[in-house]
Amino acid sequence: MWVTEHCRWFATAIGIGTVGGLLMIGGITLAQNPLAASDSSAAATAETTAGDKPTEYVPKTKAQLRKMLSNLQFKVTQNEGTEPAFNNLYWNNKRDGKYHCIVCDQPAFDSKTKFESGTGWPSFFQPVDPKSVGYKNDFHLFYKRVEVHCSRCGAHFGHVFDDGPAPTGKRYCMNSASLKFYERKSAEKE
């Protein structure tokens, strides 16, 4: 009796896992996220570790975001706000690891591409993957700037400028409030 029940439970669990995996792959296809797609098999096992793999993302309502984010995080990511220079979490963070989107946890930047810009905001010369961010022209000031946001959830990250260092010449000027840092484990170091 126990065996029968156990087998039935197991079959149900497999079924749910498969459906979950398919749903997730569908969502990722829509979001056109090759990073997440390559990790879909691992993600389907529901054994992903924060900081290693993109986790499944279910879009949140503004009310849910208000609850899960601080006032500053909400203002920056949802209303394209800007945090104070030199008075934010990561502008001077020199630790080795990855910066994920604070809203949906998609990897966005790597410390290997971080550089000292002197601006007081965390600055990178490229995103972790070209498809991990999206762009939009921003005319909030008197000149055109290129706004940068998360390609998966649309959270505002900051702006990109053409005065960055080699090899890209780009300066991704980001808000710490849009990001969550995950220190790289020694096993992952190259």
User: Which residues are tagged catalytic?
Assistant: 173
| Identified binder of Zn ion from the candidate list 53, 98, 100, 152, rule CB under 5 A | 152
Token readout for 161 is 């400028």
Nearest-approach distance from CB 77 to Zn ion, in angstroms: 8
R_g of the chain computed on alpha carbons: 19
- Measure the CA angle with vertex 170, ends 169 and 174; round to 5°: 155
In sequence order, the 6+-apart residues with CB closer than 8 A to the CB of 183 are 51, 95, 96, 97
Nearest-approach distance from CB 57 to Zn ion, in angstroms: 7
Interface with Zn ion, residue 104, by CB under 5 A: yes
Interface with Zn ion, residue 108, by CB under 5 A: no
Residues in the chain: 190
**Amino acid (one-letter) located at 66:** R
Interface with Zn ion, residue 155, by CB under 5 A: yes
Interface with Zn ion, residue 174, by CB under 5 A: no
- Smallest CA-to-CA distance from 161 within 102, 118, 105, 100 is with 118
CA distance 39 to 43: 6
**Amino acid (one-letter) located at 181:** F
Interface with Zn ion, residue 160, by CB under 5 A: no
| Identified binder of Zn ion from the candidate list 153, 173, 177, 179, rule CB under 5 A | 153
| Identified binder of Zn ion from the candidate list 150, 160, 174, 179, rule CB under 5 A | 150
Nearest-approach distance from CB 12 to Zn ion, in angstroms: 32
Interface with Zn ion, residue 133, by CB under 5 A: no
The stretch near Zn ion (CB under 5 A) out of 17-25, 59-67, 117-125, 153-161 is: 153-161
Interface with Zn ion, residue 103, by CB under 5 A: yes
